[in-house]
Structure 1
Amino acid sequence: MTAPSPSDPQATSTPSSSGGHALAPRFHGGHAVVGTDPRSPRPRRTGLILGILGGAAVLATLGITQLTASLGYDAAAENYDDATATVTREKSDLRTESSDLQAVSEAALLIVDHPADVLVVDAAAEDALRAAVAAADEATTSADALVASELPPAGEKPALFWDLFGSTAQLDGRSADAAGLAADLDTTSAEVGEASTALVESGIALLSTAGEAAVPFEAAHISARNDAVVALRDAAADVLTISTIDDAAATTYIALQDAAAQVVATETEELAEKAGPLLGARLEIEAFARALAPGVLLEFDWAPVVNGAGYNGSMGGYTTWWWDDPGRSVIQLSNSVAEQWPADRSQALVAHEVGHAISVKCQDMYDSSTQDSIEKWATAWAISMGFTDDANGVWAYGYPPQSYIDAAAGCR
C-alpha cells in the first residue's frame, strides 16, 4: 500500500498499527461540512415566551387595577354627591324652619315683654311662654350653626390608580361625615319643630287667659265709658280667635292691653266727673239701672239740668241708644234724680229711661217711627216693670195703650 503524501489534501487519515482509522488532529483547508444527527432537539425559546407572557400579565393586572380604582372612585364620588345633595336639601329646609321659628319667637317676645300691669295675665302662662322663648332661641342657635357648616368639594378625579385608591378612601370618609351631618340636621329639625309647637301652644295659652280675663276685668270697671268697653270686648274676641303666634297675634294682644288701659282711664275720668256729695247716690242709681236691663251696655252722664228739667224739684232724663251689637245706650240724668233718690218718683223716671235703653233688644216689638210712640213704649215698659209713679212717663206723655204694656212685658 502506498501512503499518501502529508501534503495531499485528500489525506484525511492514516492507518494505525492496529488497523482501522484515526481522526486527524485538526481540520484544515477549505470548509468542512459537519453532519447533524436528525434525532437531536431544536433550540428552545421558552424564556422569551415566558417573558412575553409575564409582561402581558403585569400589564393586564395594571389595567384591571386601574379600571377597578377608577370605577371605585366613580362610585364613591356618586355616593358623596348624593350625600351632599341630601345635606343641601336638609339645610335648606332647616334654614326655613329656623327662620320661621325665629319670627315666632320674636312675636312671642313682644307679647311676653309687653306690660301686663292693667289686664293681668296668668303668671304660670307667662312663665311658660318665657321658657318656650328661651328654648326656641337655643334651637335656632343650634340650627343656624349646622346650616353654616360646609362640606368640602369632591375635587378633581386623579389619573393613576394609586391616587385613585387614596381619593376613594377620602371620599368614603367624607360621605360618612355628610351622612352624620344629615342625621344631625334631621335631629335638629325635629327639635326646631318641637320648640315651635311649644312656643305656639304656650303663646296661645297666654292669649287665651288674657282674652278670658277681659270679662271679669270689665265687671270690675263698671263705670268705664261705652266706647272703651266695646273696644275691650272686640279686642278680647280677636285675641280668642288667634291660632298661631306671629306679628299679627302680638299686635292683637297689645291692642287688648291698650283697650284695658282705656277702660281704666275712662272710668277714672267718669268717677272724677261724678265726685262730690252725690257720688254714692249716683252710683246706686247706675247699678239700679243696669240691673233692670242686663246685657245692655249703659253709660251715664250727670248734669244740673237735663231735657229742660232739674231745678225746683223737677227731674230730667234723656237717653240715646244704638241698635248695633252690643246694644248700648247713654242715659243722662239731672242731679235732682240723685238728690231725691231712692224716692219712687226717682226710680220711676230711671225706669222710663231704661225703657228707652232696653229697646235695642226689642226693636221689633213697637213702632219707633214717631217720637210719641217711642215715649209711649218707654212708659209702658216702666209700667210693665211695676213702676207706677207718674214720673214713669205718664205725667209727661200720657198713659200708653195696653197693647204697648203687654208687648213691653216681653222685653227683658
Structure 2
Amino acid sequence: MTAPVDVASSAIGGHALPPRFASAPEATPRSRRRRRGLIPGIVALMVAAATVGVLQITANLGYDEARTEFDAGRATTDSTGAALRQELDTLASTLGNADLLLQTDSGVLVAPAAREALSVAATDAREIVTPAEDLLARDLPAAEAKPGAFWELFAASGELTAQTRDLDDLAADLDSATPPLTTADTTVTDAGAAVLRSAADAAPAFESAHLSAKNDAVIALRDAASQASGTTLLDASAVETLVSLQDAAAQVVATEQAELAEKDGPLQAARMEVEAFARSLAPGVLLEFDWNQVVNNAGYNGSMGGLTTWWWDDPDRAVIELSNSVAEQWPADRSKALVAHEVGHAISVKCEDMYDSSTQDSIEKWATAWAISMGFSDDANGVWAYGYPPQSYIDAAYGCR
C-alpha cells in the first residue's frame, strides 16, 4: 500500500533552504583572537633585540675605554720601569768602580776616613738595590684578544680595570723606588771623589817627605794629584787616576832611593845640607841635584864646579850639578856663594823677563848679580869667574825671589 501523495505540494515542488549559502565553513571567532596575539610577541622580540643591541654597544664602548686605560697604564709602567732599570744600571756601575777604587787603594795616600766613608756608602747602597730589582721582576699583565659577546666584553672590561689598578700601583712603587737609588748613587760618587781628593791633598806632604826624588817623578805626582782633585765622577777614569797617582808616588820613592844610593858615602850628610840650603834660596822651584868628582872642568885641587840646567816651561824646575868639592868644603862661604850662583840660574825661571838671556855672558852676570843680591859676597859667587855684574842686574835681582 502506498502513501497518498500531496499533489499540491508535489506540483509546486518544495525544499527547505538554509538562511545563508557558503562553500566553506564559517571562520570561527577563535582565529581572529590568534592574529591579535602575534603583535605583542613581535614587539617583545623587537624590544629584546634592541636591548641586546644596546648591551652589545655599551659593552663594546666599555671594553674600549677599559682597554685604552689599560694600555696607558701599561705604557706608564713600562716607562717607569725603564727609568728604574737605568738608575739601577747606573748605580751598579758606580758601585763596581767604588769596589775597584777600594781594591786599588794601597794605603799610601788615601785618608783612612775617606776610604771608610766610601765603604759604608757602598754597603748602604746595595741594601736598596734588591727591593728595586724585585719590583722589576714582577710579571706585567697582557691584554687578551677582544671578545665578541657582550657578556664576555663586560667580564673582560672588569678584568682590564682590575689589571689597570694593579699597573698603576706597580708604577707608583717603581716611581718611588727611583729617588733612593739616585740619592745612593750620588752619595757613593761623592764618597769616591772624596777618596781621590784625600789622596791629592796628601801628595804635597808626600813630595816634601821625598825631596831627593827625581823631578820627572815629582812632576808626574803633581799632575796625577791635580787630576785626582778635580774628579767628580766615579767611573773607570777615576780608578785610573788613583792608579796613576799611586804609581807616581811609587816612582817618587823609587827615584829617591836611587838618588840616595848614589849619594851614599862619607859626603852624604854634607850633600844633603847643601841641597837643603839651595832649596831654601829658591822656594817654589823644583830642584834636582847630581854630584860628580868634576863639574865644568873643576873639582880638583880645591876648585869647585857647578852647572845648572833649567826649563822655562811650567813647572819651574832645574837640575843643579855640583862637584864633590862643594860638599867637602861645606859650609865655607865660598861653597855657599857658588851654590847661590847656581841657584841664581835655577830661579831665573821665575824671573825670565828681568834680564837679557840671549848671551852666555849676560846669563852668568845675572846669576852672579842674584847671588850678590842675596848677600853672598865671596867671589865664588861668580865674580871671580865672570867679573862683576852691572848694577842694573843687581837691582833687578832683588825683585827675583
Question: Structure 1 length as normaliser, TM-score?
Answer: 0.86
CA RMSD of aligned residues (A): 2.5
Give the Å deviation of 1:169.
Answer: 1.6
Residue 140 of structure 2 corresponds to residue 115 of structure 1: no
Once residues 90 and 167 of structure 2 are traced to their aligned partners in structure 1, the CA distance between those partners, rounded to angstroms, is: 25
Q: Determine which structure has more spread, i.e. the larger CA radius of gyration.
A: 1
Q: CA deviation at 1:381?
A: 0.8
SS in 2 for 1:234: helix
Structure 1 counterpart of 2:395, which letter? D
- Asked if 1:347 is matched to 2:333, the reply is no
Q: What are the equivalent positions in structure 2 for 1:303-314 lying under 5 Å apart?
A: 303-314=292-303
Using the alignment, how far apart are the partners of 1:382 and 1:163 within structure 2? 105
Q: 2: CA distance between counterparts of 1:271 and 1:252? A: 29
Whether the 8 Å CA contact 2:299–2:323 is kept in 1: the answer is yes
Moved more, 103-112 or 255-264: 103-112
Equivalences for 1:207-356 in 2 at 5 Å? Answer: 207-356=196-345
What are the within-5 Å matches in structure 2 for residues 354-373 of structure 1?
354-373=343-362
1:32 CA drift (Å): 5.3
SS of aligned partner of 2:187: helix
CA positional deviation for 1:360 = 0.5
Change in CA separation of 1:31 and 1:116 when aligned onto 2, cut-off 3 Å: farther
> C-alpha separation between the residues in 2 aligned to 1:60 and 1:127?
77
Q: Which residue of 2 aligns with 1:24?
A: none
Q: Quote the offset at 1:79 in angstroms.
A: 0.7
1:128 is matched with 117
Check conservation: 2:310, 2:346, Cα contact below 8 A. Answer: yes
Query: What runs of 5+ residues in structure 2 fail to find an aligned partner?
Result: 1-5, 10-14, 22-28
Moved more, 132-141 or 265-274: 132-141
Map of 1:8-27 to 2, 5 A cutoff? none
- Decide whether the 8 Å contact of 1:118 with 1:261 is kept in 2: no
Q: Deviations 1:48-102 (Å, cap 9, x if unpaired)? A: 4433333333333332222222222111111111111111222232333322232
Q: What amino acid does structure 2 have at the position aligned with 1:131?
A: V
Q: Does 1:100 align with 2:82?
A: no
Map 1:70-81; keep pairs closer than 5 Å: 70-81=60-71
Whole-Å separation in 2 of the counterparts to 1:258 and 1:138: 34
State the alpha-carbon separation in 1 of the partners of residues 138 and 16 from structure 2: 97
Displacement of 1:144 in angstroms is 4.3
Most deviating of 43-52 and 264-273: 43-52
Cα pair distance change 1:344/1:47, threshold 3 Å: same
Unmatched 5+ stretches in structure 1: 9-27, 35-39
- Which whole-Å deviations, capped at 9, do the CAs of 1:27-60 have from their partners, x for residues lacking one? x9764559xxxxx9x9656654433333333333
1:379 aligns with: 368
Tell me, in whole angstroms, the C-alpha distance in 2 between the residues paired with 1:234 and 1:385. Answer: 32
Q: CA deviation at 1:343?
A: 1.0
Aligned twin of 2:378:
389
Match of residue 55 from structure 1: 45
1:302 match: secondary structure:
strand
**1-side partners of 2:16 and 2:79: how far apart?**
98
Aligned partners of 2:298 and 2:108: how far apart in 1?
A: 40
**Displacement of 1:383:** 0.9
More displaced 10-residue stretch of structure 1: 47-56 or 74-83:
47-56
Percentage of pairs with the same residue:
59
Number of the residue aligned with 2:12: none
Distance in 1 (CA, whole Å) between partners of 2:266 and 2:95 is 53
Task: For 2:111, give the aligned amino acid.
Answer: D
**Counterpart residue type for residue 101 of structure 1:** L
Q: CA deviation at 1:253?
A: 2.2
Residues 241-274 of structure 1: CA deviation (Å, up to 9, x unaligned): 2222222222222211211111111111111211
Q: Which moved more, 1:258-267 or 1:146-155?
A: 146-155
Name the counterpart of 1:19. Answer: none
